[in-house]
Structure 1
Amino acid sequence: MEVDLGGFLSQNDTYDYDDEYECTADVESEGSEAVLVTVLYSAVLVVGLLGNVLLLALLAQKRRSWTISDTFVLHLAAADLLLLVALPLRAAQAAHGGGWYSGVALCKISGAVFNINFYCGIFLLACISVDCCLSIVHATKLYSHKKPGFAHLSCLLVWFISLLLSIPDFIFLTTEKDAAQMKTVCVHSYPQSATDWWLLSHLPHLILGFLLPAATLIICCFLILLRLQQRSKKLQKERAIMVILPLVVVFFLCWMPYNITLIVDTSRGRSKQPQEGSLKTALMVTSALGCVHACLRPLLYLCLCGNFRKLTLALLRCATEESKSSLWEFGVGEEAPPDQGHEVDALKQVTSAEDQVQATQC
């Protein structure tokens, strides 16, 4: 009895299981990251709304003793609240694995609001840092209570510049069908000369919105710290830099990863080669980290500013307590108190002169 196994053994076709395993691993990885980002957005939304609403309540309570610092804190809180209002859209996008089902208009608004929050945050911090630097290093003030309109004008100018820099998002953001993943996505869509438009839309963000303000913040903080090491300054100025410096550091920790990832994405040239899965995931995760900053600022005020803690506790106890001094201790537009060291030296000189007169009379 002969058994012909030729037909069975001659089938040398092999099945590559690696592709299936790789695809399954990618789906599981994207699913876990989507869940993590969704939970992160939800936590940021709750904590951020509570913290920034508390800020607005305290600002409304002390409106009779308004300071220049209050003006900047108000605009910073407004920028954070603007992002928090649009955060549910980004949370829904992450929950759907990057899919967008909220329409073209909300796609444009969500992307623009994300960048507006970043621009307002870094520009307003730059204004505060420049004023503190001029006060400590050059003994002059950029803002003053005698001219409060200049602070309001600076904040309005920051909003105007932020809106200008977000114009590419309003123009190029749209919804498209992703045939590979079978879902609708919110992405930037450029004309045929995509390379030029890609660079033209991202270079203003990287240069005007990130590199120049970041360089300003770093230089100001370096000059302030160098000046404080050279000689002892007034207590109020030391307290101001101890509040401003953590705000700047936390801002960079939240936004630096996203901007570095964006620089890498821009340098690759998105029009010439498609965005890799790892780079796409990095942009999603780092953008979520940038949004975390919207809930951290009130927590920093609570940890760093004693007057803010005092009024917060009074508000929670439903007690009426008004603080005439600054809640935020930035020192922006505020006159420094007289140097107590000089007063002590003068008192010692007067006492010494009186002792000499008494000794002569004796």
Structure 2
Amino acid sequence: MDVDLDGLFSLNGSYDYDENYEYKDDFDHRHANAAWIHIWFSLLTVLGLLGNGLLMAALGLKRKSTWTVSDAFVFNQGIADILLLVTLPFWAAQASQACGWCFAGVLCRINGAVFNLNFFCGVLLLVCICLDRCISIVHDRVLLSAKKPKLTLICCVVVWGLSLVLSIPDWLFNADFKEPPPAKTLCIFRHPRKSVHWLKFSRICHHMLGFVLPAATLIVCCSWVLLQLNRSVKGFQKHRYFVTVTTLVVAFLLCWVPYNVALMVDTSRSERKADSTSGGSLEVALLVTSAIGCVHACLRPVLYLVLSSNFRNWCISMLRCTTADAEGSLCELGVGCDARADRSQEQQQQQQEEEQRVPMTDCVADQQQQVPSAPC
């Protein structure tokens, strides 16, 4: 039997793999980034609205006559956090949609401004809390009190006004930028080449008034109060309030310091670029650090739940469908009239100790009178 192998060995053509073969990467980094951004912001929105909603409900159901200065500051911080959380779904939609930013340009400006508005309100209100605590503990004076609500109102109005002024650059330079056809529309911070000096001035104000000076004030106040408390033997309430405020300060710095450091690097590079849009690793750093900063809006209610017994008892009573009205500050920051209550508790403790000493001295005197005198 003859086997014809001519057809098998007659294929002498060569195949150029380098020219005709096209390798397609199955893993697209842009899609991966869009996926984790969408999941992250969606999770922060749900958890943050639940936590801040519970905190605002506790303050809203509390009687206005029992509100303290601490409650007023926490209420304003909650408003700023809720405003930020409402804007997160827009950023998640930009990352997940094929068209990118599919909303109006006005929403782009609002979202960018609200992001910095939350940051400025948070740090400035925290500075007010730390300054009042520092003065009340170190100098034994009360600046803010529930008996003078106008002063507290003025502080809150000044904080919101200064935050709005510092957020003006975001209203001016945030816009929906359309990239070349393969890419998509993005809502970014972009300025024209002629306004580089204005950008530099606004960034310096942002770094100094929003980060460097407030952070230095928070660290100095906490260190000063800690030294004062270490010298004093008594004052358990002051130590407890100090732990609460210090924990809030540390949480704020951990969430927002990375973003501000990345923004400082972007500011130094923007002086040598035609626009302020970052690229490469710096763009990823700004994205990741801003996502970390948004965690603070969800973390603060959790810290109040762990550190504040009044807020924890209110939540437990609400789950049990019972009514409970917290005495004093709901979040126990020790600001304003809380400091007076703190000192009154210390005075009561001192009076009790003095009352316990008085009977002991009387007993000693009676024993001395009962001892017969020696005969002459």
TM over 0.5: yes
Contact 1:34/1:97, CA 8 A, preserved across alignment: no
Find 2:307's aligned residue among 292, 304, 307.
304
Deviation per residue, 1:175-199 (Å, 9 max, x gap): 1211275211222332332431321
Query: Which residue number in structure 2 is paired with residue 318 of structure 1?
Result: 321
Question: 2:203 aligns to what?
Answer: 202
Output the TM-score relative to the length of structure 2: 0.85
| CA drift at 1:85 | 1.2
Q: Report the counterpart of residue 4 of structure 1 in structure 2.
A: none
User: Any idea what the Cα deviations from partners look like across 1:213-236, whole Å, max 9, x if unmatched?
Assistant: 111111111111122222224122
Distance 2:261 2:181 in 1: 27
Aligned to 1:275, what secondary structure does the other structure show? coil
Q: For 1:275 and 1:192, how far apart are their aligned partners in 2?
A: 15
* CA distance in 1: counterparts of 2:215 and 2:266, whole angstroms: 20
Q: Deviations over 1:269-289 (max 9, x none)?
A: 265266222111111111111
How do residues 138-157 of structure 1 correspond to structure 2 at under 5 angstroms? 138-157=139-158
Structure 1 CA distance, aligned partners of 2:99 and 2:345? 57
User: Cα deviation per residue 1:235-289 (whole Å; 9 max; x = unaligned)?
Assistant: 2211111111111111111111111100111111265266222111111111111
1:331 aligned residue: 334
Which sits farther off after the overlay, 305-314 or 191-200? 191-200
For the 8 Å contact 2:102–2:185, the answer to whether it is kept is yes
| Cα pair distance change 1:119/1:354, threshold 3 Å | same
Instruction: Work out whether 1:354 is the aligned partner of 2:355.
Output: no
Aligned to 1:42: 42
Aligned to 1:73: 74
**Structure 2: gaps of 5 or more residues:** 1-17, 371-376
Query: Using a 3 Å threshold, how does the CA distance of structure 1 residues 232 and 31 change in structure 2: closer, same or farther?
Result: farther
Counterpart of 1:280 (choices 278, 283, 287) is 283
CA contact (8 A) 1:195 1:271 kept: no
- Cα deviation for residue 57 of structure 1 reads 1.2
Task: Give the stretch that moved more between structures: 209-218 or 91-100.
Answer: 91-100
CA RMSD of aligned residues (A): 2.5
Any conservation in 2 of the 1:107–1:175 contact (CA below 8 Å)? yes
3-state SS of paired residue (2:294): helix
Q: Distance in 1 between matches of 2:119 and 2:294?
A: 9
Please identify the structure whose Cα radius of gyration is greater.
Answer: 2
Q: Which amino acid in 2 is paired with 1:312?
A: C
For the residue of structure 1 that corresponds to 2:187, the secondary structure is strand
Residues 302 and 357 from structure 1, CA distance in 2 versus in 1: closer, same or farther, beyond 3 angstroms?
Answer: same
8 Å CA contact 2:68, 2:145 repeated in 1: no
Separation of aligned partners in 1, 2:138 and 2:208: 27
Matched, 1:101 2:108: no
Question: 1 CA distance for matches of 2:99 and 2:267?
Answer: 20
Confirm or deny: 8 A CA contact 1:108 1:170 kept in the other structure.
yes
Alignment correspondent of 2:13: none
Residue number among 265, 288, 292 corresponding to 2:295 in the alignment: 292
Match of 2:192, SS? coil
Structure 1 stretch displaced more, 345-354 or 325-334: 345-354
Structure 2 distance, partners of 1:151, 1:190, is 38
- Percentage identity across aligned positions? 45
Counterpart of 1:112, as a letter, is A
Distance 1:330 1:97, change over 3 A: farther
Change (3 A) 1:282 1:264: same
Report matched runs for 1:225-264 at 5 Å. Answer: 225-264=226-265
3-state SS of 1:193 partner: helix
Supply the distance in 2 between the matched residues of 1:98 and 1:49 (Cα, whole angstroms). 27
